[in-house]
Amino acid sequence: MQGKILKKFAETVLSVGVNLQEDQGLEIICPVEKSEVAVALAKAAYEMKAKIVNVRWECENIDKLNFLNASVKTLTDIPKWFVESKNYLVEKGFCYVAISAENPSAFKDVPPYKLAESAKARGKALKKFFGQVMANGIRWCVVSVPTAEWAKQVFPNAEDPESKLCTEIVKAMRLNARDPVNEWEQHITKLESRAKFLNDNDFAALHFVSGTGTDFTVGLCDGHKWLSAQEKAKDGLSFVANMPTEEVFTAPHRLKADGVVKSAMPLCYSGQIIDGFTLVFKKGKIVDFSVEKGYEVLKNLINTDKGTRRLGEVALIGKNSPIAKSGILFYNTLFDENASCHIALGKGYPTTIENGENLTRKELAARGLNDSVEHVDFMIGTKDLIVEGIKKDGTLVPIFKDGDWII
């Protein structure tokens, strides 16, 4: 990204994404090779009269060397200063922008158990911080910019993969519009109307069926609510956590998922690919699974803790979303999940329960919300997907036919 597009990107992310306020701190998580993006964000933030801008640099090459050479004991020793630095963001009222631009195969040579143990330790150490993030105690936004290695995997035959990926990201984020902020406002309104329909119906469960073999019923939490692109933080200000986003989502009941779910797209998790997998659920829990690629990675993921065998999110996206219509496999969940209905293993969002951000962990569990140190989305929507809402009296209401909305 360069010039006017980079400026639009920064302004849209800060105004629509995190809704940065005057005299507020901002943290940016950015790949080292994309320093110009962090600079653009920082410049735009100070033009909006931010208090301070901090940048936390990430480097996959260093991370890979650490995974290959350091012991598990060292990798799972999460420094106290790091944990305190994350909690500091919440305590001091910062917002943060995380740039998701990983090489999908960055850690393909790393032993899966090292990735799994490291992720588990990090999740436990940062449980307080992630709890605040998922309860909207902080305004945050995940976005992407093209990097060389990621672009090569998405467009291996392109003359200039990075430029081509940039073009697709710009379209997905509506940055090619004359007024991206206005475009986002209209998009948010459309998604909110879908969420309202689902909330007004107050479904007890959803039933998913596809020609690939998915036949799956998931119950919804007591007092659940459907959310869309824009949410409200605890401070009362709105923000958009993912850009792009095409979903409406809610809380599945951790004890009420039954049937077979087949993945519709590859999942990039911890720099490794999981593909062609099937999960079998009984009373909310994964009781069996099979996978064509990434067996050890998937096995370690679902065994991270008790919560990773259960669901924390169910989201609906039609096959005619802009990202789905592009026909591009991005190998990046931020994009791929917005091309397909998806569900998530692990922790549920307290905000998808009425007054959930003010409930204790025990109270949330009583409503059916799942808890875990992980939250991993994977795609299940296909072009022939049928979704029915099941009301409390057993009435069936069609929601999706042939992979798209019919409401």
**Helix intervals (H) in 70-179:** 72-75, 80-91, 112-125, 127-134, 148-154, 161-172
Q: How far apart are CA 105 and CA 147, in angstroms?
A: 13
Pairing of strands 205-209, 386-390: antiparallel
pTM: 0.90
Q: How far apart are CA 101 and CA 332, in angstroms?
A: 8
**Nearest 5°: phi and psi at 379?**
-90, 135
Q: How many other CB atoms sit within 10 Å of the CB of residue 98?
A: 18
Pairing of strands 25-31, 52-58: parallel
Q: How far apart are CA 145 and CA 149, in angstroms?
A: 12
Tens-digit pLDDT profile for the chain (407 aa)?
A: 778 999 999 999 999 999 999 999 999 999 999 999 999 999 999 999 999 999 999 999 999 999 999 999 999 999 999 999 999 999 999 999 999 999 998 999 999 999 999 999 999 999 999 999 999 999 999 999 999 999 999 999 999 999 999 999 999 999 998 899 999 999 999 999 999 999 999 999 999 999 999 999 999 999 999 999 999 999 999 999 999 999 999 999 999 999 999 999 999 998 889 999 999 999 999 999 999 999 999 999 999 999 999 999 999 999 988 899 899 999 999 999 999 999 999 999 999 999 998 899 999 999 999 999 999 999 999 999 999 999 999 999 999 999 999 98
Helices 295-302 & 112-125 angle (0-180, nearest 10): 30
